[in-house]
Amino acid sequence: MEIIVAKNAGFCFGVERAVKMTLEQLENDKENVYSYGPLIHNPQAVKSLEDKGLSTVDEFKTIDKGRMIVRSHGVGKATQDSIKDQGLELIDCTCPYVIAVHKKVNEYYSKGYDIVIVGDKFHPEVIGINGWCNDKGYIINSVDDANSLPNFEKVCVVSQTTNRLDKFVDLSKIVEEKSKEVILFNTICNATKLRQESAEELSKFVDVMIVLGGKESSNTIKLAEISKKFCERVYHIETIEELDLQSLQGLNKIGITAGASTPDWIIKEAVKVMENYNKDEMMEAIDSSFKRIGRGDVLKGTVLYVTNTEVMVNINYKSDGIIEREELSKDPNVNPKELFKVGDEIDVYVMKLDDGEGNVVLSAKRVDFIKDWEVLEESFKNETIVEARVDNAVKGGLTVSVNGVSGFMPASQISVNYVSDLNQYKGQILKAKIIDFDIQKRRMILSRKLVEKTEVEKMRKSLWENIDVDKVLTGTVQRLTDFGAFVDLGGIDGLIHISDLAWFRVKHPSEVLKEGDEVEVKVLAFDKDKNRISLGLKQTTEEPWEVFLRDYKVGDVVEGTVVNLLDFGAFVRVIKGVDGLLHVSQISKDHVEKPADVLKVGDKITVKITEINETDKKISLSAKDALEPEDTTEEVVETVEEVSAVEVEEVDASTEELTKED
């Protein structure tokens, strides 16, 4: 068996630089060193760094201090700014070749060019590149994607650095046909090109190709694709442990290549294992094991016996498996004998291959946990709505659980509207969609905002289909301005102008409404094209003047409230929205100089309606005429006898002056 390693394989310059910079940070101080996402696309290399003190995080909003490493794939400018604004020290390990792409995209976007990125829209490098044109880039990864592009005046085309050259060339030609002016940048990394060429060359004359690298690594996946074109048997594995070496028996030449994120020690380990794997070792491995199992496997087993504390299971392995009581169920107090009996076939999860006594350590409850994750993965793929229970409000969002599985809902994904107090959601059940999901990393990000958007669009469509002038609708007051109140009618805001709030004069909408009020309003006018609706609040009630004319007449004595004082009289509110004038001469039988001498705003006063002017909507009132008439016969006689000619002249003069005031 001849083992041949490709001429160009393993770490590229950018990845090696990122790892080196990270190790330097860890050597200086292991405390509070974070990587925003996996540093490179190789779980084993990332695990090695984490063992040295690196913390890999998917969210930095909850981190108060420390150094945040930007991985080799890079991030958008907005993300870099957010990390700095968070008060974290930014350690930029972005590959220099990727940084060059960022600069080109940012430069031409600033010049008014549309940006087209050839690559996988879910790949972190592509997401990062798009962040340098405000996420406005067109991302294409197939001929169909390219054909669906609009026509451009001028466009700049770049590529994911790990792309195949033939794909970039083919898709760029389609873009050129749709554009008047095209700027093309072949930003495929030369290291990627060399690895692809070496893989192609080697795969043409070996019996089997082994491609080492992360299962999510774009450049490793492309190496496997290229190898499959020229070699019938290709294995894409992360480490040599994943490969069934028995399948290599009888082969003459074995080729090995590795992605740009695969460290040398993984390549050397693979070569060493295969070189030492002689015929005798193969036979020993076959004899010593009924099946190959590993930590994290889910197997079927048969219950051998059950005690009050554990369950023993045959898993068709060289040793039996044991399930401790705490790993049987989510209920810590469960009795094992109530769950299983001898002979039951059950699914088990492999936790450890040896408990120190030769038994495989198993778990039953973790199988249910995995199944829960698998169900949620289907919900994620199918974009179905799930119900998320809010467990707590934390910095940056909400911690939630869906069927017992923990997830996170960023503050930006809680609602279509700005939310200032996250604590209000504690304990609530929110309908949401899963927008990011990684079953391996046990990560789930949810959005209630997407569900709300869909609901709002349905409500908007229904509203526009059924709206009509004079129709009465129910809405919620969203905000108040000096000129009126905006009311949410279900995805569309309508405006109640201040003049349509009440039948009486309103200085500010807050006199009538407050934010959050639920109100009934009448549609006065609407313009669907401009997305505008004019509403009336007062129009939903009878005009106060009409109520007054119906319920009151001249001669009625009523109790009113003083609402304004002037030199010539007081305005008294008879009913809400209708005020009458109480002239100074009608306030009292005694002489009153100014209304303010005997009245103040807010006083309750009994008045008689003396005149109603329907045309001008004016009312005259009298307080002195509303008083009970007294027996003043004798007093009048005495007064007549005592009044002198001079006093008569004074009374006439006063009357004349009052007439002038009227």
Q: Tell me the mean pLDDT in the region 233-245.
A: 87
pLDDT digits (tens, 9 = 90+) for 118-177: 999 999 999 999 999 999 999 999 999 999 999 999 999 999 988 888 899 999 999 999
Catalytic: 125?
A: yes
Whether 178 is in a domain gets the answer yes
Is pLDDT at 337 greater than 80 in this prediction? yes
- Beta-bridge partner residues of 535: 496, 523
Is pLDDT at 288 greater than 70 in this prediction? no
Where does the pLDDT of residue 635 fall: very low under 50, low under 70, confident under 90, or very high at 90 and above? very low
Alpha carbons 190 and 187: distance in angstroms, whole number: 9
Whether 219 is in a domain gets the answer no
The reply to whether 316 and 328 lie within a common domain is yes
Is pLDDT at 5 greater than 60 in this prediction? yes
Angle at which helix 190-203 crosses helix 218-230, to 10 degrees, equals 30
Asked whether the whole model's pTM tops 0.85, one would answer: no
Nearest to 74 by CA among 98, 57, 56, 58: 98
Instruction: Assign residue 45 the CATH number of its domain.
Output: 3.40.50.11270
Alpha carbons 393 and 391: distance in angstroms, whole number: 7
Whether 332 is in a domain gets the answer yes
Whether 586 is in a domain gets the answer yes
Pairing status of strand 89-92 against strand 67-70: parallel
Whether 183 is in a domain gets the answer yes
The reply to whether 616 and 587 lie within a common domain is yes
The reply to whether 314 and 338 lie within a common domain is yes
The reply to whether 117 and 141 lie within a common domain is yes
CB under 8 Å to 244, separation ≥6 — which residues? 292
Residue 249: predicted pLDDT: 75
b (16+ CB within 10 A) / e for 126-152: bbbbbbbbeeebbbbbeeebbeebeeb
- Beta-bridge partner residues of 156: 115, 183
Q: Tell me the mean pLDDT in the region 219-225.
A: 89
Residue finishing a domain among 96, 126, 159: 96
The domain tally of the chain equals 6
Alpha carbons 658 and 643: distance in angstroms, whole number: 21
Residue 217: predicted pLDDT: 82
Residue 284: predicted pLDDT: 54
Residue 628: predicted pLDDT: 65
Is pLDDT at 99 greater than 70 in this prediction? yes
Residue finishing a domain among 426, 452, 478: 452
Choose the most confident range, by mean pLDDT, from 132-136, 194-198, 367-371, 466-470: 132-136
Whether 394 is in a domain gets the answer yes
**Position with higher pLDDT, 272 vs 595:** 595
The count of other CB atoms within 10 Å of the CB of residue 299 is 19
Nearest to 94 by CA among 75, 123, 72, 69: 72
The reply to whether 445 and 490 lie within a common domain is no
Alpha carbons 346 and 352: distance in angstroms, whole number: 18
pLDDT digits (tens, 9 = 90+) for 522-532: 999 998 888 88
pLDDT digits (tens, 9 = 90+) for 358-393: 788 888 778 878 787 888 888 899 889 999 999 999
- The DSSP code for 327 is G
* % of the chain surpassing 70 pLDDT: 92
CB under 8 Å to 514, separation ≥6 — which residues? 477, 480
Pairing status of strand 360-363 against strand 321-324: parallel
Contact 562, 490 (CB under 8 A): no
Instruction: Assign residue 419 the CATH number of its domain.
Output: 2.40.50.140
Residue 227: predicted pLDDT: 92
User: Interior CA angle at 171 toward 168 and 176, to 5°?
Assistant: 115
Is pLDDT at 662 greater than 70 in this prediction? no
pLDDT digits (tens, 9 = 90+) for 388-412: 999 999 988 999 988 878 899 999 9
Residue 634: predicted pLDDT: 40
Contact 42, 212 (CB under 8 A): no
The reply to whether 65 and 112 lie within a common domain is no
Nearest to 49 by CA among 77, 75, 74, 19: 19
Catalytic residue among 16, 24, 107, 125: 125
The reply to whether 598 and 564 lie within a common domain is yes
Alpha carbons 265 and 315: distance in angstroms, whole number: 33
The reply to whether 518 and 567 lie within a common domain is no
Whether 54 is in a domain gets the answer yes
Considering Cα of 186, then 187, then 191, then 193, what sign does the dihedral take?
negative
The reply to whether 533 and 553 lie within a common domain is no
Where does the pLDDT of residue 629 fall: very low under 50, low under 70, confident under 90, or very high at 90 and above? low
- Looking at every residue in the chain, the average pLDDT score rounds to 85
Q: Tell me the mean pLDDT in the region 474-502.
A: 89
Runs of H (alpha helix) within 124-164: 124-130, 143-147
Counting Cβ atoms within 10 Å, is residue 225 exposed (0-12), middle (13-18) or buried (19+)? middle
Which domain covers residue 476, as residue numbers? 467-540
The reply to whether 107 and 148 lie within a common domain is yes
Total H helices, total E strands in the chain: 17, 32
Residue length of the chain:
662
SS3 306: strand
Is pLDDT at 661 greater than 50 in this prediction? no
Residue finishing a domain among 513, 540, 567: 540
The reply to whether 557 and 617 lie within a common domain is yes
The reply to whether 28 and 81 lie within a common domain is yes
Q: Is 33 left (phi over 0), alpha (psi -120 to 50) or beta?
A: beta
Is pLDDT at 648 greater than 50 in this prediction? no
Whether 487 is in a domain gets the answer yes
pLDDT digits (tens, 9 = 90+) for 81-93: 999 988 899 999 9
CA distances from 531 to 79, 258, 473 (A): 34, 57, 16
